[in-house]
């Protein structure tokens, strides 16, 4: 294996050996949210996602760029504001820059807030001799009436300085040429260093002073109130009075659009797969395949996979672009700001709000996002509580149960009123999950994860016009296909296991029935039944298959039941003893139970500990069991 070309014509790494076959290595550093990863993507052709919040790039990403017959290894190191503190990003960035592995260090700075960015430039200049500054986002600076004298800045710093607009690839030609000349030894570096030894406080004081003086000399601002519009918007979106209500409104709107919009494509996909199945099945019949193999392939694997696609894909295709739109606008950091005090009162990090938001899409992604939290203690709290927000795999189940038992759609049809009621019920469930996130975070911080709360720096980036094309591409490629691929990878073995349990019989009863009967007495205490609890356990690979397993068990069908008609589902559930109490407890346990297998493996990878993986499994499950028992007891006593 070697290098492969993508649609941009750039070459990207497809094998570890490519790291050793380069002429020069360039480290790309900078503050978060300055377009660092965008420049990296443009130069290498890779699609390392950039998020409009702090710390999106946490691990080093690498790519190959060819220019003037030279091969460059570009290393995108984590975005950070400083190299002095000890967050995960700062450690990785500092260690790589000071290691001497890079021939040149390229520091990306934001033209709209040069002074703050120069603080990092001076710190890097003290670590490595060859530094190039790239003043990015010149287009945004121009809109705000800010101009930067690139030549004067270069003279004052004593190093090469280049101006770019990262989203316009044509502006990167000068940058590529500068990197080439720097690596070839054609440029002179006389960095204006700050000489202070063994005193971080004095050093930083001098850095701030020098950054301020230089920015005043090279920046001219036509209108000192250039960011007044952002401030006016923030006075509303981050205010104590309106901040959280507006945040709730945004999420309700997203959930409502997802609920209403997903119904029709989901039904179309379901019908499509149902029409294809007989044709495919006949192919195997015509080649005289064994009956058991045909049943395994279609009653087991095919129905499991197609159910997940038809149920999961439409909400994904709606939810992720809308969520990415908020991200691209710059609203997600405002959510973290609004919830910062709540998390601080729980003795955890305000950045946990961001990882919690990521968990709505996929809990595994939320766990990975916890890397942006510098404190190991606070990072563990965020990891252990991330599953308390329902991921996209649980949304279809919650939506279906809410629609059937609480919205009145069974009797009046699916109207605007019923969809709004369903949205409200799902939102209440989400609020319960967020409440448990706060509660459990507080309990953990006072017991097994005691410690002081670190100071959290939350940057509020400028509001930006969203790039609709990139949002759609990113949502499709980086998120939807990733999450769907993860679900499908576990759907195949899950389908095989389900087929075995439902088709192997002992004394006229399937193995699935034996398992359900074993769990039934305990499940009854939770207001459930043995089949429901068994479905949750068998749904460990993917939450999407819990409801079809329940329906399959009730109908003794031997395969997953694909029933998108809520009236049919309601009839099956009610005929098997479901009541409002059952529906409430099912929704509660869907919210409060063990994470899926992918999330658990991600937790093991992130914590490097089976202990914390086990805790993340047992903690929400025990809470879910207790809550269901309490609700069931209350209804039995008073209703």
Reported as a single tens digit per residue, the pLDDT across 501-548 is: 888 888 878 888 899 999 999 999 999 999 999 999 988 877 877 887
- CATH number, position 62: 3.40.50.300
What pLDDT does 154 receive? 94
- Beta-carbon contacts of 459 under 8 Å, excluding residues fewer than 6 positions away, are 32, 33, 53, 54, 81, 333
Checking if the pLDDT of 4 tops 50, the result is no
Asked, for residue 462, whether it belongs to a domain, the answer is yes
Reported as a single tens digit per residue, the pLDDT across 381-391 is: 999 999 998 88
Contact 480, 313 (CB under 8 A): yes
What residue numbers bound the domain in which 342 lies? 243-638
Q: How far is CA 307 from the centre of its chain?
A: 24
Render 467-534 in DSSP notation, one character per residue.
-HHHHHHHIIIIIIHHHHHHHHHHHHHHHHHHHHHHH-EETTEEHHHHHHHHHHHHHHHTT--HHHHH
What pLDDT does 500 receive? 86
Count of CB atoms situated within 10 Å of the CB of 259: 26
Write down which residue in 183, 200, 226 finishes a domain: 226
Asked, for residue 235, whether it belongs to a domain, the answer is no
pLDDT band at 60 (very low <50, low <70, confident <90, very high): low
Reported as a single tens digit per residue, the pLDDT across 151-179 is: 999 999 999 999 998 777 778 889 999 99
Residues 177 and 254 in one domain: no
Residues 358 and 222 in one domain: no
- Number of structural domains in the chain: 2
Residues 368 and 436 in one domain: yes
Asked, for residue 281, whether it belongs to a domain, the answer is yes
Residues 472 and 606 in one domain: yes
**Highest-scoring range by mean pLDDT, 52-66, 496-510, 573-587:** 573-587
What pLDDT does 16 receive? 39
Checking if the pLDDT of 353 tops 70, the result is yes
What pLDDT does 55 receive? 47
Contact 261, 319 (CB under 8 A): no
Residues 219 and 259 in one domain: no
- Beta-carbon contacts of 203 under 8 Å, excluding residues fewer than 6 positions away, are 84, 194, 196
Residues 211 and 305 in one domain: no
Asked, for residue 237, whether it belongs to a domain, the answer is no
Lowest mean pLDDT among 71-80, 261-270, 308-317: 308-317
pLDDT band at 52 (very low <50, low <70, confident <90, very high): very low
Residues 161 and 274 in one domain: no
Asked, for residue 250, whether it belongs to a domain, the answer is yes
Asked, for residue 238, whether it belongs to a domain, the answer is no
Asked, for residue 134, whether it belongs to a domain, the answer is yes
What pLDDT does 9 receive? 37
Residues 220 and 268 in one domain: no
What pLDDT does 363 receive? 85
Residues 273 and 391 in one domain: yes
How far apart (Å, rounded) are the C-alpha atoms in residues 380 and 286?
A: 55
Reported as a single tens digit per residue, the pLDDT across 594-609 is: 998 888 988 998 888 9
More confident residue, 337 or 14: 337
Q: Is the dihedral of CA 321, 323, 324, 328 positive or negative?
A: positive
What pLDDT does 12 receive? 39
Nearest to 349 by CA among 388, 383, 389, 323: 383
Q: For the CA atoms of the chain, what is the radius of gyration?
A: 28
Residues 181 and 308 in one domain: no
């Amino acid at each position: 294996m070697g290098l492969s070309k993508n649609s941009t014509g750039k070459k990207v790494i497809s094998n570890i050996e490519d790291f050793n076959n380069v002429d020069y290595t360039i480290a790309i550093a900078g503050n978060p949210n300055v377009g660092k990863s965008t420049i990296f993507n443009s130069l290498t052709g890779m699609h390392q996602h950039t998020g409009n919040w702090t710390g999106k790039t946490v691990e080093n990403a690498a790519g190959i760029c060819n220019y003037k017959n030279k091969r460059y290894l570009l290393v995108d190191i984590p975005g950070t504001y400083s190299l002095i503190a000890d967050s995960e990003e700062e450690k990785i960035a500092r260690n790589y820059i000071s290691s001497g592995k890079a021939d040149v260090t390229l520091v990306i700075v934001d033209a709209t807030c040069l002074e703050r960015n120069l603080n990092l430039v001076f710190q890097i200049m003290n670590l490595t001799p060859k530094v190039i500054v790239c003043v990015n986002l010149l287009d945004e600076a121009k809109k705000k009436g800010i101009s930067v004298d690139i030549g004067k800045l270069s003279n004052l710093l004593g190093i090469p300085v280049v101006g770019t607009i990262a989203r316009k690839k044509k502006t990167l030609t000068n940058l590529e040429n500068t990197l080439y000349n720097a690596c070839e030894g054609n440029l002179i570096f006389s960095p204006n260093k700050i000489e202070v030894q063994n005193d971080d406080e004095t050093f930083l004081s001098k850095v701030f002073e020098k950054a301020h003086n230089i920015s005043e000399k090279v920046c001219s601002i036509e209108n000192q109130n250039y960011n007044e519009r952002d401030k006016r918007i923030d006075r509303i979106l981050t205010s104590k009075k309106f901040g959280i209500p507006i945040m709730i409104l945004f999420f309700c709107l997203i959930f409502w659009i997802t609920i209403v919009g997903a119904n029709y494509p989901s039904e179309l996909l379901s019908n499509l797969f149902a029409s294809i199945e007989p044709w495919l099945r006949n192919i195997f019949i015509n080649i005289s395949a064994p009956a058991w193999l045909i049943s395994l392939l279609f009653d087991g694997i095919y129905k499991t996979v197609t159910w997940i696609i038809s149920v999961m894909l439409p909400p994904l295709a709606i939810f992720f672009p809308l969520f990415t739109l908020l991200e691209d606008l710059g609203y997600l950091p405002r959510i973290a700001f609004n919830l910062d005090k709540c998390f601080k009162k729980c003795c955890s990090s305000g950045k946990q709000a961001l990882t919690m938001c990521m968990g709505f899409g996929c809990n595994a992604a939320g766990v990975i996002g916890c890397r942006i939290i510098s404190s190991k203690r606070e990072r563990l709290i965020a990891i252990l509580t991330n599953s308390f927000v329902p991921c996209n795999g649980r949304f279809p189940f919650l939506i279906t149960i809410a629609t059937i038992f609480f919205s009145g759609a069974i009797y009046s049809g699916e109207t605007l009123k019923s969809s709004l009621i369903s949205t409200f019920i799902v939102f209440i469930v989400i609020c319960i999950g967020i409440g448990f996130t706060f509660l459990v975070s507080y309990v953990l911080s006072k017991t097994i994860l005691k410690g002081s709360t670190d100071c959290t720096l939350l940057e509020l980036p400028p509001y930006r016009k969203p790039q609709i094309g990139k949002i759609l591409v990113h949502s499709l490629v980086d998120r939807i296909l990733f999450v769907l691929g993860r679900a499908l990878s576990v759907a195949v073995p899950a389908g095989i296991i389900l087929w075995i349990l439902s088709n192997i019989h002992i004394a006229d009863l399937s193995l699935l029935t034996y398992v359900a009967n074993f769990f039934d007495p305990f499940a009854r205490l939770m207001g459930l039944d043995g089949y429901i609890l068994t479905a949750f356990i068998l749904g460990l690979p993917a939450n999407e298959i819990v409801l079809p397993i329940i329906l399959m068990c009730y109908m003794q069908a031997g395969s997953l039941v694909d029933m998108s008609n809520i009236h049919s589902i309601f009839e099956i559930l009610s005929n098997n003893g479901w009541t409002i109490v059952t529906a409430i407890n099912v929704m509660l346990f869907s919210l409060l139970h063990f994470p899926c297998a992918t999330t658990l493996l991600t937790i093991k990878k992130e914590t490097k500990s089976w202990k914390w993986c086990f805790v993340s499994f047992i903690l929400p499950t025990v809470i879910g069991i207790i809550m269901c028992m309490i609700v069931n007891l209350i209804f039995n006593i008073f209703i």
